[in-house]
């Protein structure tokens, strides 16, 4: 079981790494998943994620407390809005797909907005 969790964590880390080079590709969510998977299978890899400048401390805080700082919330919500708008524009003729996507994005935005603030910016 440990090797499955480690493989899944490595895959999530790779997917998050793609986001460093491709605009609008999510990085943080994949690294959060990787850190969770590595916590049970390979703690040194989880700790490596936590040490990454810029995102590591926020990922650790989110995993340990479920909270986000205001800047992180605004960035995440902006990404949801921009991604939703761009995706809606690209798939506009498929109204049912657009509607389903917008419902999912609204739930994601509600979840992000419901997270407590970790500390003032």
pLDDT computed for residue 38 by the predictor: 96
Q: Which residue has the tokens 């609204």?
A: 106
Asked if 7 and 20 sit in the same domain, the reply is yes
Proportion of the chain above pLDDT 70, given as a percent = 98
In a 13 Å sphere around the CA of 70, the CA atoms on its Cβ side amount to 3
What are 33-92's pLDDT values in tens digits?
A: 999 999 999 999 999 999 999 889 999 999 999 999 898 899 889 989 988 998 899 888
Residue 121, pLDDT > 90, answer no
**Cα separation, 20 vs 36, whole angstroms:** 20
> Which range of residues forms the domain containing residue 40?
2-65
Which has more confidence, 120 or 66? 66
Asked if 21 and 52 sit in the same domain, the reply is yes
Q: Which residue from 21, 23, 20, 45 is spatially nearest to 35, judged by alpha carbons?
A: 45
Mean pLDDT score, 7-31: 91
Does residue 31 fall inside a structural domain?
yes
Residue 112, pLDDT > 90, answer yes
CB atoms within 10 A of CB 90: 10
Task: Work out how many domains the chain is built from and give that number.
Answer: 2
Residue 120, pLDDT > 70, answer no
Asked if 39 and 79 sit in the same domain, the reply is no
Asked if 92 and 43 sit in the same domain, the reply is no
Does residue 101 fall inside a structural domain?
yes
In the DSSP assignment, the letter for residue 8 is H
Arithmetic mean of pLDDT over the chain: 91
């Amino acid at each position: 079981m440990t090797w499955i969790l480690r493989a899944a964590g490595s895959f999530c880390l790779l997917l998050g790494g793609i986001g460093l080079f491709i605009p609008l590709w999510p990085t943080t969510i994949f690294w959060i998943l990787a850190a969770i998977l590595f916590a049970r299978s390979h703690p040194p890899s989880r700790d490596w994620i936590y040490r990454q400048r810029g995102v590591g401390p926020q990922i650790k805080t989110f995993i340990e407390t479920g909270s986000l700082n205001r800047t992180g919330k605004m960035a995440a919500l902006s990404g949801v809005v921009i991604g939703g708008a761009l995706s809606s524009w690209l798939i506009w003729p498929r109204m049912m797909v657009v509607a389903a996507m917008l419902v999912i994005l609204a739930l994601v935005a509600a979840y992000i907005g419901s997270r407590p603030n970790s500390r003032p910016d």
